[in-house]
Amino acid sequence: MLFKLTDEQLMIQNMVREFSRKVVGATAAERDKTKEFPAENFKQMGELGLMGMMIPVDYGGEEADAVSYVLALSEIAYSCASTSVVMSVQNSIVCESLYRFGTEDQKQEFLVPLASGEMIGAFGLTEPEAGSDPVSQTATAVRDKDTYVINGTKRFITSGQNSGLVLVTAKTDEGTAHRGISCFIVPKGTPGLIVGRTEDKMGLRASDTTDLIFEDCRVPASNRLGKEGDGFKIAMSGLDSGRIGIAAQSLGVAQAAFDAAVKYAKKRRQFGVPIAKHQAIRFQIADMATQIEAARQLVFSAASMKDRGEAYTREASMAKLFASEMVNQVTARAIQIHGGYGFTKDYDVERFYRDARVFTIYEGTSEIQRIVISNNILRDKRKL
From start to end of the chain, where are the E strands?
A: 121-124, 140-144, 147-158, 165-171, 181-187, 193-198, 209-220, 224-225, 269-270, 273-274
**How far apart are the C-alpha atoms of 160 and 343, rounded to whole Å?**
31
Burial (Cβ within 10 Å: 0-12, 13-18, ≥19) of residue 165: buried
**How far apart are the C-alpha atoms of 380 and 384, rounded to whole Å?**
10
Q: Is 30 a catalytic residue?
A: no
The dihedrals phi and psi of 145, each to the nearest 5 degrees, come to 60, -115
From start to end of 172-282, where are the E strands?
A: 181-187, 193-198, 209-220, 224-225, 269-270, 273-274
**How far apart are the C-alpha atoms of 196 and 209, rounded to whole Å?**
10
Q: Which of 62, 96, 127, 363 is catalytic?
A: 363
Contact predicate 176/157, CB 8 Å:
no
Distant-in-sequence, close-in-space partners of 303: CB < 8 Å, separation ≥ 6: 65, 66, 67, 69, 70, 244
Strand partners, 120: none
Please give the positions annotated as active site. Answer: 363
